[in-house]
Amino acid sequence: MVAGGEPADGFNATIHGPHRLRICALLHPVVEAEFAALRAALEVSDSVLSKQITVLVDAGYVTQRRAVRDTRQRVWLRLTPEGRTAYEGHVAALRAIVG
């Protein structure tokens, strides 16, 4: 909230969830990241990460690319341009709230 009790412009309830915010923060500085790397960084199970990624994919903020590597199927994730914009706007809104 900013002065007057109104939510800050750019605040995004979809991104704001703790795991989703951390996923976006990890994806923001890279072109893409492997599912397993995100899972390890977040220290969550496959199912928890998958559920949070599904929310971001459904919102149009993240895309998935599947590829075979070392004879195993791998999933690579990246922020979409819309996801990048939404994340940056959300971070700016959080700074406005606490600043």
Which residue segments constitute the domains of the chain, with CATH numbers given? 13-98 (1.10.10.10)
Average pLDDT over residues 69-83: 92
What is residue 67's predicted lDDT score, i.e. its pLDDT?
87
Average pLDDT over residues 7-28: 92
Contact 80, 87 (CB under 8 A): no
pLDDT at 37 over 60: yes
DSSP state of 79: E
Q: How far is CA 62 from CA 18, 24, 52, in A?
A: 16, 9, 11
The model's pTM is 0.87
User: Chain-wide mean pLDDT for the chain?
Assistant: 91
